A and B are shown apart, each in its own frame.
Chain A
């Protein structure tokens, strides 16, 4: 088979698999790619070496497909990953008014716009401009993280304290959610320190060290809340058209591209954080722009971060996908870069074409089966995956993560605070104080 055909087939298969997997709530594409990397390495140790033209486009397709279609469970099953924090509420609003199909499709259009943005805007410009930005920013990444942490903690809006006479009771009512957010951030940060310095996960599976914690922090709480929720999903209307126009798309690309791009370029910042910052900076009010820009942001974050690993002359690794492929391959030339750009474009087109049938399929599923059973099934699959990769220790870590992840859900604070698991220890390390904190905690 010619090289080009190999790449096209690989990316299409990868996209197809990921689009189906992305409908499973809580299952992160990086978990699946982790398994894939394991498979490639195992094959390699048995003398079967796969060429990069097979597994790189395959992985690119998986990431593009997942980042575009993962909106579907976000809207219909309410089990978002950490970068879909904002998609949840507006998406659920659409769902509760019977317009879940439209909500999912608007976000999907955002994903498609994100692919255009990546391939046509970022693709040609990145090799020329990003190395300059990286060169200037390299010694400053640590304080960017600290400044973002400060903003996340300072900018949360007090959810209570809106009624009643002035005084301490009103103050404490307001601060309950803020304190819960702060507690979430600190507990997640402590968990991060433990996992970074003394992870109980077997060293043989260390490349998935953080996975059980992420599952616990983000996926399990939503599955649990869905399972105990008393809400029934109303009948869904499949719309023939979408309430969007060119203006909405452009503004969404602007906001989402900024947020996703920022998150993709800076280490440890995730799509959720990028979305928060871009949402604030661009002062979005239109829910359609909000929904669509989250679609753009999510795609630009996941796919863009993966793409950056291939930008010639840049030499940075961002996002779980890029870190995972580092163990398999080191991109070096424009050959790799153009291959990935092509894979992203093809994968994006294929994923968008899968959007409508899969959305209809999910609508059929939730009409036929109880919303709670779907979430319960998803929970079982995720936990089985955690067990398969990291064993009982991973289940224990996921349980602890679940406890922390439930705090913001049940106390109405930002789930973004769970990102303390990465932000706090890595910001400390980058500023050179991480080992002092670890020593204080008796971890070293």
Chain B
């Protein structure tokens, strides 16, 4: 999920704690800040710290003057071969190709387990919003390399490499001799573990109180649980486990609908918790009324309007690929 979804979920979790609302009414924002901050922290640890220290064995650094898809495909196939032959973890980083302040050359990598090969093709020049620059069409050439070992996909078959930081793959050999492809191996590893969350909670207990610890644990855990709704999964019990538990494939991290639903639901829950734990109000309403007026009516009307407009125009929303910056959630245009 996007950062804001995790963040607001953490705040919503804090709002369920009576002491958080009580403290807030007395001017102390600590618990809500902790809820939000620890709701976002697992990704912060990965994206702002860990990834800069994550060592790669191989770097693919395409030449902007002479983009050669075959060289990239060969490098990826070589990494798979090494992992299969030597039985160790091989990490490979695909660098992006920056052409200007707002221009990037896009290329796409596709692993085809059935055909046992990897394919690479150069796409158009895109801006930081990933919108193709007019007049910069893709390259027809396709780099293709046979894989020495059968591979197992744990994520999307196709990966676009375009803006900001490029993706990393880690290849490991499993018991049956196949090579497992791990997408972004530095992400959702140790940082997305309940155990680490509990350690932060203990630190919070030492620093403030058990109440802070509960909020920290709630914020951290809800992030980990939300991420399990997606594809990549997380290493839920690091250091007791060493692998990512696969997600339940309900959504993608950049999808608009689940992200918006999470944010909206969290806002409603926060509002309800503040209302029911607050001082007596001159306005009284039930949770059902809140749902009707706060969710069913506005969102229903909006969804209906979108539906009719799309039917009239005959269009539909295209499904979107996953990329690194979606995971973090920073708009590409900021």
Using a CB–CB cutoff of 8 Å, the interface residues on chain A facing chain B are 85-86, 89-90, 93, 97, 129, 131-133, 135-137, 139-140, 142-143, 146-147, 150-151, 154-158, 161-163, 165-167, 170-171, 174-175, 178, 245-247, 250-251, 254, 276-277, 279-285, 287, 290, 414, 427, 430-432
Query: Do the beta carbons of A155 and B40 come within 8 Å of each other?
Result: yes
Q: How far is the CA of A85 from the CA of B333 in the complex (A)?
A: 10
Contacts of A142 in B (CB 8 A): 24, 27, 29
Instruction: Give residues 2-18 of B contacting A (CB, 8 Å).
Output: 2-5, 7-8, 11
Per-residue interface assignment for chain B, residues 318 to 332, with 1 indicating a CB less than 8 Å from any chain A CB and 0 otherwise? 001000011011110
Contacts of B70 in A (CB 8 A): none
Contacts of B47 in A (CB 8 A): 157-158
Contacts of A175 in B (CB 8 A): 48
Beta-carbon nearest neighbor of B165 in chain A: A162
Is B159 engaged at the interface, CB distance under 8 Å to the other chain? no
In which size bucket is the chain B interface?
Answer: 35 or more
Beta-carbon nearest neighbor of A149 in chain B: B33
- Whole-angstrom distance from the CB of B222 to the nearest CB of chain A? 15
Given contacts A166-B54, A432-B27, contact A90 B315 (CB under 8 A): no
Beta-carbon nearest neighbor of B276 in chain A: A136
Q: How far is the CA of A53 from the CA of B278 in the complex (A)?
A: 40
Contacts of B263 in A (CB 8 A): 281
Q: How far is the CA of A294 from the CA of B131 in the complex (A)?
A: 18
Query: Do the beta carbons of A155 and B329 come within 8 Å of each other?
Result: yes
Query: Do the beta carbons of B11 and A147 come within 8 Å of each other?
Result: yes
Contacts of A97 in B (CB 8 A): 133-134
- Whole-angstrom distance from the CB of B317 to the nearest CB of chain A? 8
Q: How far is the CA of A156 from the CA of B47 in the complex (A)?
A: 10
Contacts of B279 in A (CB 8 A): 139
Contacts of A283 in B (CB 8 A): 2, 254-256, 259-260, 326, 329
Contacts of A151 in B (CB 8 A): 4, 7, 36, 40
Query: Do the beta carbons of A147 and B166 come within 8 Å of each other?
Result: no
Contacts of A290 in B (CB 8 A): 129, 331, 333
- Whole-angstrom distance from the CB of B24 to the nearest CB of chain A? 5
- Of B133, B302, B326, the contact of A254 (CB 8 Å cutoff): B302
Is B209 engaged at the interface, CB distance under 8 Å to the other chain? no
Contacts of A155 in B (CB 8 A): 3-4, 7, 40, 328-330
- Whole-angstrom distance from the CB of A292 to the nearest CB of chain B? 13
Given contacts A171-B49, A254-B302, contact A163 B95 (CB under 8 A): yes
- Whole-angstrom distance from the CB of A320 to the nearest CB of chain B? 24
Query: Do the beta carbons of A154 and B44 come within 8 Å of each other?
Result: yes
Query: Do the beta carbons of B278 and A139 come within 8 Å of each other?
Result: yes
Besides A136-B274, A171-B53, A287-B129, 16 more A-B contacts (Cβ < 8 Å) are A97-B133, A147-B29, A147-B33, A147-B36, A154-B3, A155-B329, A162-B96, A163-B61, A166-B52, A166-B53, A170-B52, A175-B48, A247-B313, A280-B3, A282-B260, A430-B27
Contacts of A157 in B (CB 8 A): 47, 164, 325, 328, 330, 334
Query: Do the beta carbons of B25 and A247 come within 8 Å of each other?
Result: no
Stretch at the interface among B169-177, B189-197, B303-311: B303-311
Give the residue among A136, A163, A245 with the most B Cβ atoms within 10 A. Answer: A136
Q: How far is the CA of A284 from the CA of B331 in the complex (A)?
A: 8
Query: Do the beta carbons of B53 and A167 come within 8 Å of each other?
Result: yes
Beta-carbon nearest neighbor of A170 in chain B: B52
Stretch at the interface among B72-80, B228-236, B281-289: B281-289
Q: How far is the CA of A37 from the CA of B54 in the complex (A)?
A: 59
Query: Do the beta carbons of B56 and A154 come within 8 Å of each other?
Result: no
Is B130 engaged at the interface, CB distance under 8 Å to the other chain? yes
Contacts of A178 in B (CB 8 A): 48
Q: How far is the CA of A280 from the CA of B5 in the complex (A)?
A: 8
Contacts of B11 in A (CB 8 A): 147
Query: Do the beta carbons of A287 and B131 come within 8 Å of each other?
Result: yes
Per-residue interface assignment for chain B, residues 232 to 250, with 1 indicating a CB less than 8 Å from any chain A CB and 0 otherwise? 0000000000000000000
Is B55 engaged at the interface, CB distance under 8 Å to the other chain? yes
Query: Do the beta carbons of B305 and A250 come within 8 Å of each other?
Result: yes
Q: How far is the CA of A171 from the CA of B50 in the complex (A)?
A: 9
Beta-carbon nearest neighbor of B301 in chain A: A121
- Whole-angstrom distance from the CB of B12 to the nearest CB of chain A? 11
- Of A137, A162, A284, A414, the contact of B166 (CB 8 Å cutoff): A162
Task: Pick 25 A–B contacts, CB within 8 A, sort by A.
Answer: A86-B331, A89-B102, A89-B128, A132-B285, A142-B24, A142-B27, A146-B33, A150-B37, A154-B37, A161-B51, A162-B164, A162-B165, A163-B61, A165-B55, A171-B49, A178-B48, A245-B315, A280-B329, A280-B330, A281-B259, A281-B264, A285-B129, A285-B256, A290-B129, A290-B331
Query: Do the beta carbons of A285 and B325 come within 8 Å of each other?
Result: no
Contacts of B328 in A (CB 8 A): 155, 157
Contacts of B130 in A (CB 8 A): 285
- Of B37, B271, B312, the contact of A136 (CB 8 Å cutoff): B271
Given contacts A166-B56, A246-B309, contact A85 B334 (CB under 8 A): yes
Is B107 engaged at the interface, CB distance under 8 Å to the other chain? no
Q: How far is the CA of A184 from the CA of B313 in the complex (A)?
A: 46
Contacts of A279 in B (CB 8 A): 331, 334
Contacts of A284 in B (CB 8 A): 256, 331
Beta-carbon nearest neighbor of A89 in chain B: B333
Query: Do the beta carbons of B44 and A140 come within 8 Å of each other?
Result: no
Q: How far is the CA of A167 from the CA of B37 in the complex (A)?
A: 25
Contacts of A150 in B (CB 8 A): 33, 36-37
Given contacts A147-B33, A167-B53, A282-B260, contact A174 B48 (CB under 8 A): yes
Q: How far is the CA of A175 from the CA of B53 in the complex (A)?
A: 13
Is B127 engaged at the interface, CB distance under 8 Å to the other chain? yes
Query: Do the beta carbons of A146 and B329 come within 8 Å of each other?
Result: no
Is B122 engaged at the interface, CB distance under 8 Å to the other chain? no
Q: How far is the CA of A150 from the CA of B4 in the complex (A)?
A: 11
Query: Do the beta carbons of A282 and B256 come within 8 Å of each other?
Result: yes
Q: How far is the CA of A116 from the CA of B61 in the complex (A)?
A: 50
Query: Do the beta carbons of A90 and B333 come within 8 Å of each other?
Result: yes
